[in-house]
Each structure stands twice: as structure tokens, then as C-alpha cells.
A and B are shown apart, each in its own frame.
Chain A
Amino acid sequence: MAQTLAPPGDLYFGWMGVVALILAAGIVAWTAQIWWGMGMAGKRTPEMWAMYITTFVFWIGIGHAGTLISAILYLFRARWRTSIYRGAEAMTVFAVMTAGLFPLIHAGRMWFAYWLLPYPNQRYLWPNFRSPLVWDVFAISTYLTISVVFFSVGLFPDIAALRDMSTGSKKRIYSILALGWEGSDSQWRHYQRAYGLLAALATPLVLSVHSVVSWDFAMALVPGWHSTLFAPFFVDGAIFSGFAMVLVLIIPMRHFFRLQPYLTDRHLDAMAKLILVTSLVLTYFYVCEAFTAWYSGEHFEKASMFARATRQYAWAFWLQYFCNSLVPLVLFKKRARTHTPTLYVVSLFVLVGMWFERFNIIVPGLAHDFYPYTWGTYIPTVTDTTIIIASFAWFFILFLAFIRVLPAVSIVEVKETLAPPFKTRRAGH
């Protein structure tokens, strides 16, 4: 299982170089935006949220599958999670780290970001705790902290195993990171209890995070946003896109590191089924969304929905339905669920579709609200497009570094699923 940690080949460094270049382009674009102002990102009324917030919501959503796999499936004792949960958890941490950049990029003067935090100051100013944007600060920072804690707690025993396998300077680094883990009975006793409790805390957290993100929209009066449907709608979409990203990361990992014995067809099948279920639920929400707009009898709701389906962003609207509701139906076929190229393509469609879903909520929503004089069309610029593409590079650079230095498949948990060695088989065991 430690084969992912072997010295990497040219292919690895090649990919690392490509993503590093894209990331560098993104840094240049961000610098330009800070230097010349937010106009560089195509921000003008009414499109003040545009693609940065779209991408923020997208990345937060990606993180959800990781916590679902590591916490919820742990509580349900779903054994197939063991070989994928480490990669999925790392994905969560990196996705939230990526997402967290966007409010800062979007806010322009990101050196004042600390104004969002409640701290005593001489002007007695506090954040407005009634604002969903402040809830977001709390939700996202809690989510990042708890994900990091959960991820690192899961790593201690594995790093200890690596420490005992390695030599030289690697051994010294792993020794520090393992915090002196020995696997004694008292350590395991408290460890298991703590792990269970963290899973129990992370479960309501993961459901709350995307609900809070959805309230950024649902609390506003903008037609198409002001809906009680949003929280479950966002959570389901998040899990859907998150699983697609897990597959996008895990299928190549399985291929290049020959992890087929650990990441079997059964795992792919289980994840494909989850993608299919969440896709069907999402389709239901799409129907509800359109139905509510029509049935509300509310002029602005209906007009907003109609504009989304027919006006300048109609292509994005129909693309979303195609990617999220139609393409995943392929997974009804059992062969498609274990055929890696098909799964990979479906996952990519899902990721595109889910990005456009958030785009369709934010951009056409703002483009067509109550008064014709506030209508407008948003045109992407080179700056914001580069920054968004670079966010993928940032995410992949973190993930590529991770698979090199830490065990991408949990050593301890995979050992746990194997039968423990018995000298004599006891009856009934």
C-alpha cells in the first residue's frame, strides 16, 4: 500500500510542472486584479457575484463527499469506505482550502479579511450575526478545522507505520509527525472513542455547511433564490459533485499505482450508485424548482425562470440538465458502473454540470431581477477565467503532493478489514 510513496517518475513531475505553470498564471492574474481593481474580473452591476462565488460554491460542494465517506459511512459501518476514505478526506481538506480563497479573491481588498472575524476593537464594531455571509465564515472555518482534525487523527497510526518502515531523514520527519504513536491498548482505546465522536460531530456539520452556503442565496429576495428548497437542494448537489471528483481523482490513482486489489470494481460500483441516486434526487429538485416558480403564480419568479431557460444564458441552463440529469442515467447499466473510461467521462460531465448549476443560480439570477433597468449580462474576462482555472491547478498540486508524502490508502484500516491472524480457527468465528 505504500507504493504510492515510492520515488515518482517523469510522468509525475511532468504533471506537477503543468499544474504549477497554470497556478503561476493564476497568481499573475490575481496580482493584476489587486493592482488594477475588480473591474479586471468583469464585476459590474448587477453581476457582483459572478464566477468567483460560483466557483466558491462548487469547491465547497466538492468537499462534501469526503466527509460523507469518512464520517457518515463510518457511522454506518460501510466497509467499502476503508480504501477510499483517505483520498476522499484529503480531497475535502484541499477543496475547502481552495474554496476559502474565493471569498478573499472576490472581496478585493483581501488584507481586510480579518474584519469578518468577531474580535474586540476600539470602535465596538462586531460582525452582523444576522447576515448569512457571517454564518458562512463560521460554517466554512469550522468545516475546514474539523476536516483537518479528522484527517490528521486518521493519519497518526499510518504515519507511525511509515516511521517504522523508513530510514534516515524520512524516518525523522515521520517520527515527528507520528507524535510518538505506538499502538498501545490505551492509545487505541481513546483513539477509537475520539474517532467515533469526531465522526458524530462531522455528520451534522457536513449537512449544515452547504445549507448555510445555500442560505447566502435563499435569504436574499432575488427571484429564483428566495426558496426553502435550497438547503437540501445544495447538499444533494454537493454530494453528487463530490463523488464525481472522488472518481476523477481515484481512477487515475488506481491505474498508475496499480491499486486494483484495494480499489476494486466494487468500490467504483458503490460510488457510481451514489452518483446515480444523488442525480435522480437532483432531477427531482430541478423539477420542484421549475414547478414552484410556475405554481407560485408570482410574476417575478416566473419571469426569472423563463429568462433563465430562454435568454442569453439558456445554453448553460440546458447544459446543466444534460450533464446532471441525463448523462448519469448511463449508470443504470451495471457494466457502465465498473467500466472505468465510462465512469470517468460521466464524472467529468457531472463536474461540468454542477459548476454550471451554480453558475445558473448566481449569474442569470442576478442578471434578471425585479426591474428592467437592473438587468444586465455578465461577460467573463481573462483575469477571472484564469484565476478559476488556476484554482483547479492549486487543488491538483496539493493532491499530487499529498499522494507522494502520505499514504493515500489507509494502511491501518485496510489491515483492519483483513481477517486478523488466528493460529487455530475457533468454531463459529
Chain B
Amino acid sequence: MSTQVLGVFAHVDTIVDAILRLKAGGYRDLTVYTPVPVHEILDTLEVERPLSRVRLFTLVGALSGTTLGFFLTIYSALRFGQVTGGKPIVSIPPYVVIAFELTILLGGLATLLGMLVLARIPRLTPSVAYDPRFTRDKFGVAVACALGQVQSVRDILAATGAEEVRS
């Protein structure tokens, strides 16, 4: 059986301290809520995490855009096969414009998709630990732990200066 303990903090340094102590205590499954991205907090959490994979989505989207752009223009030119203005049927320079625009278009849409998929939005119901104060001026850390460990997590949170602890 596992449960969640939530600590609400008002200051950046106290929550960073709490995160470090929780990690030292072996609690890995932390969810931190902040009203704005605070690099002190995110840096503390990011240490052992790989970089966000959104960029992979962007790369794949952008490259598919380039491919689609050239495919569309070259295929349709060959299909129609009409010489105009004495130019080659497949004339690459103008097609670069189409390929460029589609690169950006699909790259951008894939980035949006990547963000939504990886950050798990849209979500229909708020997570259990969420508190409306987290979009205003408070920071929160939700710790997933076994039932038996609740008291020790509560102690850590209280000792580091949480304004409120609940489980």
C-alpha cells in the first residue's frame, strides 16, 4: 500500500532543502508544484533525469515536413509532366520554399504534440495532491511513500519549514 504526503511551502530555499532531504532519505517519487518555473527547484530535480524528449518529437516532425514538402512537389510535377518556361520538370529551388514551410509547420505541430503527450495534458481530473494555491504563490511537494513511512516524511517536511503538511 502506498500513499501521498503533501507539503506546502512559501519559499524557494525551504522547498529545495526539503527536496534534497527527501532524496537523501530515499524518497524518489516526488511531484513538485510551482506557480512559475523556478530554476533552483527544477535543477534540484533534474540532476538524474534525462533531457525532455520533446526535442525528439520536433526532430521527427520537422524531418517529415521536409520529406513531405519535396515529395509533394516532385511527385505532382512528375505526375503532370508539363514543361513550362523551358525549366526542368523537377526544379528544386522553388520546391525548397515549400519544403521549408512544411518543415516548420510539422516541426511546430509535433512539438506541441510532444509537449501534450509527455506532460500528460489534457488531464480531465486534477491530481489528488493539487491545490489551487500552486498557481498563485505557493510551492508544493507531493511525496509518494509506503503507509509505514508517512510519519518520517511528515517529519522531514515539517522540519524543513513546510507551512502545511497533509496526507
In the complex, how many angstroms separate the beta carbon of B15 from the nearest chain A beta carbon?
10
Pairwise interchain contact A161-B35, C-beta atoms closer than 8 A: yes
Contact residues, A142-185 vs B (CB, 8 A): 142, 145-146, 149-150, 153, 156-157, 160-161, 163-165, 179-185
Determine whether the beta carbon of A185 is less than 8 Å from that of B31.
Answer: yes
Min CB distance, A3 to chain B, in Å?
16
- Among residues of A, the one whose C-beta sits closest to the C-beta of B116 is A179
Query: Provided the pairs A126-B76, A190-B118 are in contact, do residues A142 and B11 lie with their beta carbons within 8 angstroms?
Result: no
Interface pair B94/A135, CB less than 8 Å apart:
yes
Q: How far is the CA of A186 from the CA of B31 in the complex (A)?
A: 8
Q: Quick one: closest B residue to A139, CB to CB? A: B101
Q: Which B residues fall within an 8 A CB radius of A?
A: 10-14, 30-38, 40-42, 45-46, 49, 51-52, 54-55, 58, 62, 72-73, 76-77, 79-80, 84, 87, 91, 94-95, 97-98, 100-102, 104-105, 107-109, 111-112, 114-116, 118-127, 130, 132-137, 161
Contact, CB under 8 Å: A185 / B58: no
Q: How many residues of A contact B (CB 8 A)?
A: 60
For A118, list chain B residues within 8 Å (CB). 72, 76
Chain A contacts for B77, CB-based, 8 A: 126, 129
Q: Say yes or no: A197 contacts B111, CB within 8 Å.
A: yes
Q: Is the CB of A135 within 8 A of B101?
A: yes
- Chain B residue numbers with a CB within 8 Å of A124 are 79-80
A296 CB–B CB distance under 8 Å: no
Q: What are the residues of chain A within 8 A of B134 when measuring CB–CB?
A: 164, 182-183
Question: A164-B135, A422-B12 given as contacts; is B107 within 8 A of A201 (CB)?
Answer: yes
A127 to B69, CA, bound (A): 13
* A182 touching B33, Cβ below 8 Å: yes
Q: How many angstroms between the C-alpha atoms of A149 and B116 in the bound complex?
A: 12
CB atoms of A212 and B80 under 8 A apart: no
Interface of B is mostly: helix
Residues of A within 8 A of B36 (CB): 157, 183, 412-413, 415-416, 420
Q: Which residue of A lies closest to B137 (CB)?
A: A421
Query: What CA separation (Å) do A5 and B137 show in the bound complex?
Result: 20
Residues in B with CB closer than 8 Å to A333 are none
- Of B11, B46, B52, B135, the residue contacting A422 (CB under 8 A) is B11
Q: Which of B40, B72, B105, B127 contacts A182 (CB 8 A)?
A: B127
Shortest CB-to-CB span from A179 to chain B, Å, is: 4
B9 to chain A, nearest CB (A): 9
Q: Given that A160-B135, A412-B35, A421-B10 are known contacts, is A142 also in contact with B102, CB under 8 Å in the complex?
A: yes
Q: Do A183 and B98 form a contact, CB below 8 Å, given A153-B112, A194-B112?
A: no
Known: A161-B135, A190-B52. A205 touches B35 (CB 8 A): no
**A77 sits at the interface (CB 8 A):** no
- Rounded to whole angstroms, the CA-CA distance of A156 and B132 in the bound complex is 15
A201 contacts which of B10, B38, B102, B104 (Cβ < 8 Å)? B104
Given the known interface contacts A145-B105, A194-B112, A422-B13, the answer about A138 and B97 at a Cβ–Cβ threshold of 8 Å is yes
* Contact partner, A193, options B55, B100, B107, Cβ 8 Å: B55
Please give the distance in Å from B126's CB to the nearest CB on chain A.
7
Q: Does A198 contact B (CB under 8 A)?
A: yes
Q: Is the CB of B33 within 8 A of A184?
A: yes
The A112-133 residues at the B interface (CB cut-off 8 A) are 118, 124-130
In order of increasing CB-CB distance, the 10 nearest A-B pairs are: A180-B123, A126-B76, A164-B132, A194-B115, A179-B122, A193-B52, A423-B11, A138-B101, A161-B135, A185-B32
Bound: A183/B40 CA distance, A: 15
Contact in complex: B161, A423 (CB < 8 Å): yes
Report the minimum CB–CB distance from B54 to chain A (whole Å): 4
Q: For residue B114, which residue of chain A has the nearest CB?
A: A194
Q: With A161-B135, A164-B132 given, is the CB distance from A187 to B101 under 8 Å?
A: no
* Cα–Cα, bound, A416→B39 (Å): 10
- Given A135-B97, A190-B54, is A424 in contact with B105 using a C-beta cutoff of 8 Å? no
- In the assembly, what is the distance between CA of A51 and CA of B30, in Å? 60
How near does chain B come to A173, taking the closest CB pair, in angstroms? 14
- Is A204 within 8 A of B104, CB to CB? yes
Q: Which of B45, B54, B73, B87 has the most CB of A within 10 A?
A: B54
Question: Which residues in B have their C-beta under 8 angstroms from that of A130?
Answer: 84, 87, 91, 94
* Known interface pairs A129-B98, A201-B104; 5 further A-B residue pairs with C-beta atoms within 8 A, sorted by A's residue number: A129-B72, A129-B95, A149-B108, A187-B119, A205-B101
- Per-position contact with B for A404-429: 1 when CB-CB < 8 Å, else 0? 00000000110110001111101000
Q: A283 at the A/B interface (Cβ < 8 Å)?
A: no
Say whether B115 contacts A165, CB under 8 Å: no
Query: Does A322 count as interface, using CB distance less than 8 angstroms?
Result: no
The reply to whether A138 and B98 contact each other, CB–CB distance below 8 Å, is yes
Instruction: Identify which of B33, B45, B49 contacts A183 (C-beta below 8 A).
Output: B33
